[in-house]
């Protein structure tokens, strides 16, 4: 559904121009909110013709979307070199679930990185298990040795790079190359980097998944997921999403597209502020490891340097010599950092995280209690002052 006549441009330009076809925008800048269930045909012949040309981008029925959703999907496709299309879902978890469902059958086995987002694990351990699919976990830093994990039953592998609590950067090209040789489909949760900092398909991934709730929307007011894939998987991904009735509201698509237009400047600021704060934390006596992919403490840092063109605003750090209570005292003392799930919005967040509770293939043995920070768009000096105040309450 991408307009192949469009020249390729810088990602910043692509984010601004993507999906804004004249037939969808008419005389205005943003494709308007088209609220519709029924799409009306001129006559019965047109109705029947609609069945023959039922591509996204043509009016058909509300569950297939309208120009508001098509435009956003097309913009996301254009931002991922090599992509054939993007499907939208009502949450990031729905995108992960539907993408896995599209490529797995009863009797299959799926491998998941041990650093996977916890709801991805729950989905695999409960829902996929009920479907007769076995889930097995692997060390996120396994690299090319993943080939030793493949059995005749292995049909898909889920990567998440970096892990969204512990930030191990995976050797995506090595894993994808081994998977390709073994005929295993690769799916990557690319929410942290987005296609802006890591064009997943270019690095060998088959199916790139983004929780658009985070950086695409960027304003903490919409839930959405997106799956972008190349030609080989596009029909499967699209059909499965449609069979499962996946649709996002035009209002949400409008807001997500609005977020997308400023992705470049937001990501750059998230990146600069997060790096400043991560370096400041590194020098604090209360802090052990700083798990930020752009810092050497982070497992997989060398891979990040090799493959990623930037870093976003989410990272973790370890508090030394304290316990769960003193970590809570530190977080509770923060004023600019809210306490809550999610990330990628304009507001900063702090979260206590305990990776040891989720691991099965590897043991989490890093010293200290982890705090995950979402660095928002407040001035980094104010955020640093807030964190300094938090440390005044740590172990007191």
Ligand X SMILES: Cc1ncc(COP(=O)(O)O)c(C=O)c1O
To the nearest whole angstrom, how small is the minimum distance from the Cβ of residue 49 to ligand X? 37
* H or E segment and range at residue 109: strand 109-113
In angstroms, the CA 266 to CA 19 distance is 20
Positions 269 through 288 that interact with ligand X (CB under 6 A): none
The pair of three-digit structure tokens given for residue 341, joined into one six-digit string: 């799930």
Choices 68-76, 89-97, 287-295, 358-366 (CB under 6 A): range interacting with ligand X: 89-97
The pair of three-digit structure tokens given for residue 395, joined into one six-digit string: 């172990």
In angstroms, the CA 371 to CA 351 distance is 6
- Inter-residue contact 375 to 383 (CB < 8 Å): yes
Select from 117, 123, 233, 254 the one that contacts ligand X (CB under 6 A): 117
Instruction: List the catalytic residues.
Output: 63, 117, 189, 214
If binding is defined by CB under 6 A, does position 342 make contact with ligand X?
Answer: yes
To the nearest whole angstrom, how small is the minimum distance from the Cβ of residue 342 to ligand X? 5
Distance of CA 190 to the CA centre of its chain: 4
Neighbours of 49 (CB within 10 A): 14
Binding mask 131-170 for ligand X (x = CB under 6 A): -----------------------------x---x------
Select from 2, 75, 84, 93 the one that contacts ligand X (CB under 6 A): 93
Choices 86-94, 124-132, 323-331, 332-340 (CB under 6 A): range interacting with ligand X: 86-94
CB-side exposure of 279: number of CA atoms within 13 Å?
8
- Burial 144-179, CB ≥16 within 10 A → b, else e: eebbebbeeebbbbbbbbbbbbbbbbbbbbbbbbbb
Nearer to ligand X, 209 or 334 (CB): 209
Q: How far is CA 347 from CA 151, 330, 331, 385, in A?
A: 44, 18, 15, 16
If binding is defined by CB under 6 A, does position 92 make contact with ligand X?
Answer: yes
Choices 56-64, 90-98, 286-294, 346-354 (CB under 6 A): range interacting with ligand X: 90-98
If binding is defined by CB under 6 A, does position 294 make contact with ligand X?
Answer: no
Helix/strand number for the chain, H first, E second = 15, 12
Our CA angle for 197, 268, 10, nearest 5°, is 55
To the nearest whole angstrom, how small is the minimum distance from the Cβ of residue 48 to ligand X? 38
If binding is defined by CB under 6 A, does position 225 make contact with ligand X?
Answer: yes
Binding mask 165-204 for ligand X (x = CB under 6 A): ------------------------x-x-------------
If binding is defined by CB under 6 A, does position 249 make contact with ligand X?
Answer: no
Strands 207-211 and 185-189: parallel
To the nearest whole angstrom, how small is the minimum distance from the Cβ of residue 246 to ligand X? 13
Residues that bind ligand X (CB under 6 A): 91-93, 117, 160, 164, 189, 191, 211, 213, 223, 225, 342
């Amino acid at each position: 559904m991408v307009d192949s006549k469009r020249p390729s441009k810088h990602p910043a330009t692509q984010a601004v121009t993507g999906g804004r076809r004249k037939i969808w925008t008419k005389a205005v800048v943003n494709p308007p909110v088209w609220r519709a269930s029924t799409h009306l045909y001129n006559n019965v012949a047109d109705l029947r013709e609609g069945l023959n040309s039922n591509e996204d981008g043509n009016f058909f029925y509300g569950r297939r979307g309208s120009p508001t959703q098509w435009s956003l999907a097309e913009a996301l496709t254009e931002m991922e070199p090599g992509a054939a299309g993007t499907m939208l879902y009502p949450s990031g978890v729905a995108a992960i679930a539907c993408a896995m469902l599209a490529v797995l059958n009863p009797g299959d086995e799926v491998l998941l990185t041990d650093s996977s987002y916890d709801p991805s694990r729950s989905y695999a351990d409960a829902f996929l298990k009920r479907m007769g699919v076995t889930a097995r976990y692997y060390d996120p830093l396994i690299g090319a040795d993943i080939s030793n994990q493949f059995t005749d039953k292995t049909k898909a592998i889920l990567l998440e790079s970096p892990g969204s609590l512990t930030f191990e950067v995976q050797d995506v090209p090595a894993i994808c190359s081994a998977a390709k040789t073994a005929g295993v489909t690769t799916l990557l949760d690319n929410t942290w980097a987005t296609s802006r900092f890591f064009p997943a398909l270019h690095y060998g991934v088959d199916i790139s998944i983004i929780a658009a709730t985070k950086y695409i929307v960027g304003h903490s007011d919409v839930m959405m997921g997106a799956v972008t894939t190349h030609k080989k998987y596009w029909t499967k991904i699209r059909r499965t999403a449609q069979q499962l009735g996946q649709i996002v509201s035009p209002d949400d698509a409008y807001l997500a597209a609005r977020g997308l237009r400023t992705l470049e400047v937001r990501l750059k600021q998230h990146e600069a502020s997060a790096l400043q704060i991560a370096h400041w934390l590194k020098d604090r006596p209360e802090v052990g490891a700083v798990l930020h992919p752009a810092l050497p403490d982070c497992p997989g840092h060398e891979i990040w340097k090799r493959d990623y063109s930037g870093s976003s605003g989410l990272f973790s750090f370890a508090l030394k010599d304290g316990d769960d209570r003193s970590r809570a005292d530190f977080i509770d003392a923060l004023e600019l950092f809210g306490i809550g799930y999610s990330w990628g919005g304009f507001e900063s967040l702090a979260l206590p995280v305990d990776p040891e509770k989720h691991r099965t293939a590897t043991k989490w043995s890093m010293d200290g209690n982890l705090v995950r920070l979402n660095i928002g768009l407040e001035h980094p000096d104010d955020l640093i002052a807030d964190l300094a105040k938090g440390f005044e309450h740590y172990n007191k």
